[in-house]
Structure 1
Amino acid sequence: MGRFTSASILLLWCIIATTSAQVPEYVKSYTRLESAVATGAVCLDGSPPAYAYVEGYGSGSSNWMVYLEGGGWCFSLENCINRSQSFLGSSKYEFIGNTVNFTGILDSDSRYNQYFYNWNKVFVHYCDGSMFTSDIRQVDLSNNLTFRGGRIYNAVMEEMLHEGMGNAHNAILTGSSAGGLSTILHCDRFRALFPNTTRVKCISDSGFFILGEGALANISGRHFAQVIATHQLGALLPKSCTSKRGPNLCLFPEYLVEDVSTPLFLVETAFDLFQIAYNFIFSVPGLGPKQWGDCGKNLAQCNSTKIGIMEDFRSIFLKTLLKLDQSSSRGMFVDSCYLHVHIVRRYTWICSPLLRNRTLEQAIADWYFDRSPFQEIDNNASPQNCPTSLY
């Protein structure tokens, strides 16, 4: 009989554990923060901000994790109007539903989240379209739109401080996609909420959106410039960036990360499905969503030409990432999966590809608890169809 490697044993356990029909999910209801309305902290449609909260217990009772929900952004008045009529621009329960599934790094089952399962965990609903950053005083009465993402962030943080977060021994700000970018933008502000004795770190998942080069830079640069103009973010972006360059570059993490003084962990894939399917393909002549087709959803539907295009993106992405200084406080886990968002998927949290013989969960825990630094990039030059259907 052949010998099993530790990686094959782990994979077998992951398949069994995450495909079991008996695997529970921790479900929690949203709370709408009605008191925030008086301060003008409201969603695009004027409804109150919302969050879901799981109380910590035991050894985790004095530890806090705040997760900023992702969901893109709006980049024009019309786009924001449409967004305000969806769950990503409102807290009306007919839009956002009444519950949140806490899985992955938010899981309350120690079998699937052995390091953070019993922490206080806060899931902040994203309903402003500006990465929790905008703060336009005047309401657009012609469309009843309110751009107040920055106030939402402040209101929820104040509420959590009132609930005891300020006394935390350990604290993490994290988020995925647009929430991952929000985490980078707010990381140092989050750290400032706590005394120096608190261990505070940030984890950005799938939030490293690149400017790129050539045609890609023209497309992505123009797109983020529209976001900044729509939400009037120019004066609200980190001064550490805008003091050195034009504000239209200061939503791109490549120009933000090095000025973040709080320890920051970047969780990424070199084949980010979102950036490839919704941005990079437009930089290739003759390509668009129709031509890309099901390749944007399933790697098995990608022919050799499209795989080559994805490999081109990897080269640009890694070149951008490797330009960053190698700060000892910064963690990095970059796999080769063709997906977008890692840490709140149960499978990719505990069953990720191994880098330096560590799963994503193990790598983040070692880094967070100061057991060892972690900066690893998968050397696989082709995308992998890592399972992502289980959350």
Structure 2
Amino acid sequence: MGKCYIAGLLICALVVMNVAQVHGDTNVTITFLDSAISKGAVCLDGSAPAYSYVEGFGNGSHSWIVYLVGGGWCSQISECRDRSSSRLGSSHLMGSQTTFSGILDSNCTFNPDFCNWHKVFIYYCDGSSFMSNIEQIDPKINLTFRGARIFNVMMDEMLAKGMRNAQNAILTGTSAGGLATILHCDKFRKLFSDAIRVKCISDSGFFMHGEGHHGYENRENFFANVIKTHKLANSLSPACTSKRNSSLCFFPEYLVEDIQTPLFMLESAFDRFQLTSLVLGITNCTTYLTRCNSTELGIMRDFRSTFIKTLEQRVHNSSNRGMFVHSCYLHDHVLKSDEWTCLAIANRTMRQAVADWYFDRSSFREIDTKNDSPRNCTNKFCQ
């Protein structure tokens, strides 16, 4: 018997022998969608997009989860060229299998609400959160920017597999895939009739602009370059671009207020990726908090304060929004079995909070406001 806990909010006992065995993580074969090539829906290097799929069963046979993989963005042509020689830009380098765990786990003991749903894992190989759609290919660089087409052909593929008959549907994703979930949420909703329960879950996708906060100009310039490189200005939300410069319309804080579909945000107020990659000054402790100096800890606390304030303004008061914001120094959650099963706030685990919100059993909009310093919670969930 071990204990899992988050920032002193909950003690959770769980019998565990081997995490991977207990949670029933499943290795699933990758399918390469060669038919998409003729439609121009290809990765940066021109290779076919890819997905992995597990068929639903039992009372989950009419329910679908579509998961969008993350992996950052390329903001310059040189970065995109580098990505095209990796699994984040070429399906030739993706391997043959992936692991389904967390919200995609097929073990109904540990994932009772979603274990028997149809589960789709869509690989990320465009560097634009599935948003780019440049028709012409510059022969000098020989890169294809077609993320939006990949999203579209994948939706068509799943509809043909039976998703058009869904009674429940979830679009979710992590990091850049979490941002893609926000960007595509209403579009996903429109694939189904109004009678179908359709909701979106963004995991670690609320990338903050935080104007005036430490490093905000760096974040602003970075996403402006993503938009410029992938020529996204005309693809971004008109509700956002009509109010402000399009270079800001990759930031969720300017998008979520106009999203009509129910949306749940899974976040850390001390998101490790944002603090170490998008906030200037966090260099000593990218992995271990014990190596942070007082200046870095001060930047982290300031980030947390601004992050929470921004979420409360943009998300907290919306009736169809859910929110689970903890204080662990982490990034990404829903595919990590321990975090999905045991990480908890207000006496509910992440899994319970998301399921209760999705099935309308109860609302959940909780932020850990007790801890104003980041917590090193690694491997403290299910031991």
TM exceeding 0.5? yes
Map residues 164-175 of structure 1 onto 2, 5 A cutoff: 164-175=162-173
Give the partner amino acid of 2:153: A
Q: Which residue of 2 aligns with 1:52?
A: 52
More helix by share: 1
Map residues 315-330 of structure 1 onto 2, 5 A cutoff: 315-324=305-314, 326-330=317-321
Query: 1:39, CA displacement in angstroms?
Result: 0.6
SS in 1 for 2:260: coil
**Shift in CA distance, 243/98, structure 1 to aligned 2, threshold 3 Å:** same
Give the partner amino acid of 1:115: D
**Match status 1:368 vs 2:358:** yes
**Match status 1:314 vs 2:304:** yes
SS in 2 for 1:156: helix
After alignment, is 111-120 or 307-316 more displaced? 307-316
Give the partner amino acid of 2:25: E
> Contact between 2:30 and 2:96, CA under 8 Å: does it hold in 1?
yes
SS in 1 for 2:270: strand
Q: Which residue of 2 aligns with 1:234?
A: 233
Report the RMSD for the aligned CA atoms in angstroms.
2.0
SS in 2 for 1:235: coil
Q: Distance in 1 between matches of 2:380 and 2:177?
A: 20
Map residues 224-373 of structure 1 onto 2, 5 A cutoff: 224-280=223-279, 282=280, 287=281, 292-293=283-284, 295-324=285-314, 326-352=317-343, 354-373=344-363
Which residues of structure 1 form unaligned runs of 5+?
none
After alignment, is 379-388 or 187-196 more displaced? 379-388
Q: Distance in 2 between matches of 1:22 and 1:203?
A: 25
What per-residue deviation string (whole Å, max 9, x for no partner) do you get for residues 234-284 of structure 1? 00011111122111110000000010000000000100000001121x1xx
Q: Which residue of 1 aligns with 2:71?
A: 71
> Contact between 2:23 and 2:110, CA under 8 Å: does it hold in 1?
no
Q: Which residue of 2 aligns with 1:156?
A: 154
May I ask how many residue pairs the two structures share in their alignment? 373
Query: 1:301, CA displacement in angstroms?
Result: 2.7
> Contact between 1:68 and 1:176, CA under 8 Å: does it hold in 2?
yes
Map residues 159-238 of structure 1 onto 2, 5 A cutoff: 159-214=157-212, 215-238=214-237
Q: Distance in 2 between matches of 1:308 and 1:216?
A: 13
Q: Which residue of 1 aligns with 2:80?
A: 80
Q: Distance in 1 between matches of 2:374 and 2:277?
A: 17
Q: TM-score, normalised by structure 2?
A: 0.93
SS in 2 for 1:267: strand
Q: TM-score, normalised by structure 1?
A: 0.91
> Contact between 2:131 and 2:148, CA under 8 Å: does it hold in 1?
yes
Query: 1:320, CA displacement in angstroms?
Result: 1.5
Query: 1:213, CA displacement in angstroms?
Result: 2.5
**Shift in CA distance, 83/9, structure 1 to aligned 2, threshold 3 Å:** closer
**Match status 1:386 vs 2:371:** no
What per-residue deviation string (whole Å, max 9, x for no partner) do you get for residues 130-168 of structure 1? 000100000121222000000000000000000010110
> Contact between 2:203 and 2:334, CA under 8 Å: does it hold in 1?
yes
Give the partner amino acid of 2:340: W
**Shift in CA distance, 196/304, structure 1 to aligned 2, threshold 3 Å:** same
Q: Distance in 1 between matches of 2:54 and 2:250?
A: 31
Q: Distance in 1 between matches of 2:292 and 2:18?
A: 27
Which residues of structure 2 form unaligned runs of 5+?
none
Q: Distance in 2 between matches of 1:176 and 1:39?
A: 27
Query: 1:10, CA displacement in angstroms?
Result: 5.7
SS in 2 for 1:322: helix
What per-residue deviation string (whole Å, max 9, x for no partner) do you get for residues 40-61 of structure 1? 0000000000000000000101
Give the partner amino acid of 2:223: F
Q: Distance in 2 between matches of 1:262 and 1:86?
A: 34
